């Protein structure tokens, strides 16, 4: 395996990378929907569903041959949960191999040897970037605030119900699981980490 140095990115850097992705693959973006499977194809990568108990250990990974993304077959039947897994593994490949300039992953790409620190940093960056790709920042903020403003009175008076209502509405708009909606809202400071934990992570993580 090749030696590798990874530099942790700031949120601003990652939002800028998402902007490059939207510009390069504009034909894969329609309204709120970002076709991450199509971007994977354009990048010269291939998604391989795997049978068995993979999901007990991991929701997805980039294979030793980094041209392949492995996902549990069970996830493929629910697009709202499947798409974030594909997006995160795509972002792993983009961050590790820095191929946005060329548009595709080189045929000769080899797996990297990661230190624990590099692994931690790239995991955090891939998680953030995948949400930035699935939820373009300005569209997400606009729809989040609009949903909060126009919520029915029955839910508007209770913060938890209001946030759950908005997450469910945005899940439909972006076709991404409501838990990931909450994570994006948390990353952008639209809800607090405590609210994300109380109203989403503790209820929807399984």
Boundary (domain end) residue, out of 134, 164, 182: 134
Same domain, 63 and 92: yes
The pTM of the full predicted model, rounded to 2 decimals, is: 0.89
Distances in whole angstroms, Cα of residue 128 to Cα of each of 17, 40, 124, 155, 185: 11, 18, 6, 29, 11
Q: Are the C-beta atoms of residues 38 and 47 closer than 8 Å to each other?
A: no
Looking at the structure, tell me whether residues 79 and 118 fall in a common domain: yes
Q: Is residue 6 part of a domain?
A: no
* Residues 6 or more apart in contact with residue 194 via CB below 8 angstroms: none
Does 142 share its domain with 89?
Answer: no
At 65 the pLDDT is 77
- Domain extent, residue 30, equals 11-134
* pLDDT tens for each residue of the chain, 206 residues long: 456 788 999 999 999 999 999 999 999 999 999 999 999 999 989 988 876 555 454 466 776 778 888 888 878 888 999 999 999 999 998 998 888 877 777 777 777 788 889 889 999 999 999 999 999 999 999 999 999 999 999 999 999 999 999 999 999 999 999 999 999 999 999 999 999 999 998 766 54
In a domain, 57, yes or no: yes
Query: Is residue 5 situated within a structural domain?
Result: no
Q: Cα angle at 203 between 197 and 206, to 5 degrees?
A: 110
Contact (CB, 8 A) for 159 and 125: no
Q: What is the pLDDT of residue 8?
A: 94
Q: Is there a single domain that holds both residue 83 and residue 108? A: yes
- What is the model's pLDDT at position 63? 67
Query: Both 105 and 26 in a single domain?
Result: yes
Give yes or no: residues 130 and 43 share one domain: yes
Is 165 in the same domain as 114?
no
In a domain, 1, yes or no: no
pLDDT of the residue at 59 = 64
Last residue of a domain, one of 134, 165, 187: 134
Domain end among 99, 134, 169? 134
Residue 57: the pLDDT is 44
Distance (Å, whole) CA 141 – CA 172 = 15
How many domains would you assign to the chain? 2
Per-residue H/E/C for 112-165: ECCCHHHHHHHHHHHHHHHHHHHCCHHHHHHHHHHHHHCCCHHHHCCHHHHHHH
State the pLDDT at residue 50: 77
Same domain, 21 and 94: yes
Judgement on whether residues 64 and 126 belong to the same structural domain of the protein: yes
Q: What's residue 132's pLDDT? A: 98
pLDDT of residue 72: 83
Q: Is residue 196 one of the residues assigned to a domain?
A: yes
d(CA 160, CA 194): 11
The CATH number of the domain holding residue 73 is 1.10.10.2910
- Is 34 part of a structural domain of the chain? yes
Nearest to 103, CA basis, from 38, 42, 17: 42
Is 152 in the same domain as 183? yes
d(CA 160, CA 193) in angstroms, rounded, equals 13
How far is CA 51 from each of CA 77, 133, 144, 161, 167, rounded to the nearest angstrom?
13, 27, 37, 37, 30
Q: Does 154 lie in the same domain as 167?
A: yes
Closest CA to 184 of 129, 124, 121, 147: 129
Report DSSP state, residue 200: I
Looking at the fold, whether 79 and 103 belong to one and the same domain comes out as yes
């Amino acid at each position: 395996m090749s030696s590798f140095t990874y530099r942790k990115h700031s949120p601003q850097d990652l939002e800028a990378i998402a902007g490059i992705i939207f510009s390069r693959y504009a034909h894969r973006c329609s309204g709120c929907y970002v076709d991450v499977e199509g971007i994977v194809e354009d990048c010269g990568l291939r998604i391989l569903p795997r049978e068995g108990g993979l999901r007990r250990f991991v929701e997805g990974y980039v294979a030793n041959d980094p041209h392949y993304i492995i996902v549990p077959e069970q996830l493929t039947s629910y697009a709202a949960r499947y798409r974030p897994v594909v997006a995160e593994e795509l972002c792993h490949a983009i961050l590790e191999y820095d191929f946005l300039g060329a548009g595709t992953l080189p045929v000769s790409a080899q797996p990297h040897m990661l230190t624990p620190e590099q692994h931690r940093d790239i995991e955090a960056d891939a998680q953030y970037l995948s949400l930035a790709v699935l939820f373009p920042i300005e569209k997400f903020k606009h729809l989040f605030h609009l949903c909060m403003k126009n919520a029915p009175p029955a839910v508007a008076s209770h913060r938890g119900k209001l946030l759950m209502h908005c997450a469910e509405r945005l899940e439909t708009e972006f076709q991404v699981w409501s838990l990931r909606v909450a994570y994006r809202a948390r990353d952008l400071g639209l809800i607090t980490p405590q609210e994300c934990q109380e109203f989403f992570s503790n209820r929807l993580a399984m």
